[in-house]
Structure 1
Amino acid sequence: MPNILIVDDEAIFRRGLRKIIESSSGSWQVAGEAKDGYEALEMVESIKPDVLLTDIRMPRMDGLQLIQIAKERFPKLLVIVLSGFDEFTYLQQSLRHGVRDYLMKPVEREELFKTLDKLETELAAPQPAIELYAAETADARIIRQHVSEHLVAGLLKGHVNETDLALLARIGVTFREPHFACMIIKLDKDLLDKERYEKADPSLFQLYIQQIVQELLDQRAKGFSFILSETEVVALVNLAGQPETADPLFELSETIRRRMISLSRLTVTIGIGRTVAGIKEVPQSFQEAKIAQLHRLIVGGDRVISYARIKQDGEELAWSSSPELRIDLIESAIQEGKPESTKQYAASFITCLCSQAKSPEVIHQQICKLLIHGYEEAEKLELTHSWLGERSIQAVLLEICSLNSRTELIDCCSSYLGKLAECIARGQRNSDRDPIDKVIRYVNQHYQEPLSLTQVAEQVYLNPAYLSTLFKQRTGTSLVEYWTDLRVTEAKKRLVSSNEKVTIIAESTGFGNIRHFNRVFKSVTGLAPIDYREQARSVKV
């Protein structure tokens, strides 16, 4: 009895096709249904249908990609293409891949029956011996690369699951190690000879960079690189573990940067995210690499910028040593959703900065750092589009760097930061019905103070035991672990960026006493606070 696999992203069409096929006079059996190309590939391998009936336009992987890969692995598979788009190019491409028929939506019952009868006759005829795996063609290699890039791009955004990883492995992209880190490599277009850039196809520069990056990845590490956009090449590096002393990712990036100069006289800026454990944390490293890239506007191009080193050096706090430059007031007002206070503190900050800075460049650098910090907060809260609309943060930073009037700087920066605080306030009002969101917001604002589970539970009128269980279910961590992590993170920043005594840092980050602080800090970082400070400051940036 011949069987058929139905692939369509709309359930109503899948159900309709099943009913039509099961009502036919032939002996056809519907072996299964799939909602997209990825799911279909899994089912083709497991149930080995005689016929694949697939739509063309589908999310994630379209029908042509599905056909290309499926036919490569199973040359005897018969395929019927289904589409609501009457386009000759689709017909051409599908027939080129060995498709037996092309049906238009909505499917005519008699037309489908006619096609099935023809295929049933073909399947019943004696079949010549055929190799199960045919040699890979140039077209197949291209489609394999495109599918890999599509999947890894989804992985960077958190849209890929374990099934997708299994598919990646089957088409040759494997991630066997437990740790990951992201690199974003950008051509320093502004440092490139204008005539040289304009004479060449810009995409060729990106392709050249990607090839150099992948070559060095293959030699010195494990990973996958691809062109993410017209300006970015991304590398996802797979690592055996967290580096203890030397930073192999930084060294690899420096090698890439130097290789580009020596081979082509092109300079690149490379942003590196921190090394994370597990595939689910990859979007975090990718976001950090993007933040690192933004610092190019501050430190210049032709260099490697590590997010971990930015944080370790406490660069975001470097300008707040003066009592008048109260960056903490701006941050608190933004996080508490107070637009007017944010504007007021921002105006005071810029006024003091302009009176103390030694050059206009320093003023622009510090304001850019402040806005990058705001952007990072907006990204965490998924408020970037609400805040900036269609504008990119890069455009905002370039706008700031073009201003040379104190009044314009105050108006522009206060407006952006005030709007961010307004977006956060609106988000807080919308999430007040969710007790976990409210608890997270409360703890983020009060973790420096002595906290108890009972005290926090009172904020949302829940039983402490129930809140503890609910928080663990929603976040994957306990409430105590959550606020302990906040305290340790703040302590690490202050240990590196200030000369405050350890006892003062312990008290001001919410730890009851120095003994408790030392014990918790060492259990989290593996080092005593003093040792952590010495080691962090000894790392050469």
Structure 2
Amino acid sequence: MNQLCKVIIVDDEILVRQGIKYVLDWEREGFQIVGEASNGQEALELIRTLQPHIVITDIVMPVMDGEELTRIVKRDHPDIEVIVLSSFSEFHYVRSTFQNGVADYILKPKLEAEGLLHVLKNTWDKIPGLVVTGGADDDTLSVDFVLSRLISGYEINYDFGLLSSYFPYELFFYLGCDMRSISTIDGQSLDRLKGIIIGELEHKIPGIVHCTVQGDQSMILFLINLKERQWNEAIDAVKLLSQSMAESETEPRWFFSELFHELSKASAVYQDSYLKLLQYRFFFPEKVLLIHDELPKPEGDSDKFNLSHFTEQIKRLQLEEAFTDLRQHVTSLSLHYESDVFQFKSFLGNIIFNVTNQFSHIKALEESKYALFRAIDEAQDVDEAVLILESFMNKVIQHTFTSSGLQASNANMKRLLEYIEEHYAEPLSLTDLAKHFHFNPSYLSSLFTAHNKEGFKEHLNKIRTDKAAELLREDGAPISEISCKVGYGDHSYFCKVFKKYTGLSPSHYRRQYYSQE
């Protein structure tokens, strides 16, 4: 039977997946990429749903690596062939996958069109009953097929009249929905959420045209076509949808790409706007919606960090001065949302490595070093990464503090806690407190951790959450109003924080309380 050979790509790096997608004219060669996943667990769900012929997988990935994925695929789906991606240093892992029945392997540094195509064609020969053609005739291509080719950047002869009738309006943009926060995502729940999103958009914006773009298992992506005057309506509709979902078990993040007016720009906008928004989300952890046209102006280049001076300060035990300089530099780096995430994490890891070396005699610091490296590498956003660094700096200070001055620090801590209790509903930051009490911010940060086993931000969130819970029990005010009363200007962020500390969304908490009365 003549058909396209269906392929799934599994790699935790989105740029690697994109590179594989663009290295070949897949459909013309007889193949079709039907899905992507960032780890083995996501891939297994895709495999059950899409039934691919070939899985191309990386070896080293979080959650479930390629070795375990290969073993499960060959056990549960013996007809599916697996091709492994690896580097030279990972070749010992590849040997074990061959024992589980992997069809072939490709070295990442040597990934090129000719070599990949050769491996793919050798692999499809192993699949019984699969006769692959060179792809469909361009004159009879479907809209979805043509759109996928346009987004991938391929030149294609297509019936422009067909696309014009399918996309009748003057404005295009990509709408993405990140579902990584859902712990039990599967094909059915993904389809259900797609239906909810489409239903809400169609209800709010009559006549809107949408087309699903295949991609990462944890993402839902649409190409949206509408009238120019409907752009603000689309934003308002998604804002309402995000607020309603913030009250449920799902807390997705949304991405609006740059606007464009010609389908010929579909690939450029996908690459230069939408994919970059996915990278920028690391630096905007509190933003539920990232809209290309509303991004702040990028900050100028940050000054290079003086590592030699910092190390000298550490050697002299001038920790307060050293960590103050470091915090200022990290804050500056955090504002450069166009920066490379890997480089940002590498800088934090390098700092931990250098400081730990200076205190190699402190066993607790030395033993925790590699766990901190892993934690930073796995951090989902800038706040999480910086919190890991803060925890490390506080640990360093605690291990180098003497017992002198403890009485004074206890008194200072009492004053701080009383002030926060009185002013929790106001905009508060560590810098604000430092100015008010004439303390150094690094001293305050260390003081909080030493006395409370939690940082300033966690302490403030806990107080605000407790106050919000009290209002939810006693006050019938709207939840958005309560969020403002306890110091949160962003309703969706308030719901996220409240659920983190209580395990329930605000509306669920209120319903549960009243049902027990």
Report the TM range for the smaller structure's normalisation.
0.3 to 0.5
Per chain length, whose mean CA-contact separation is higher, i.e. which structure has more relative contact order (CA < 8 Å, sep 6+)? Answer: 2
With the length of structure 2 as denominator, give the TM-score of the two structures: 0.35
Compute the TM-score of the two structures, normalised by the length of structure 1: 0.34
Larger Rg: 1
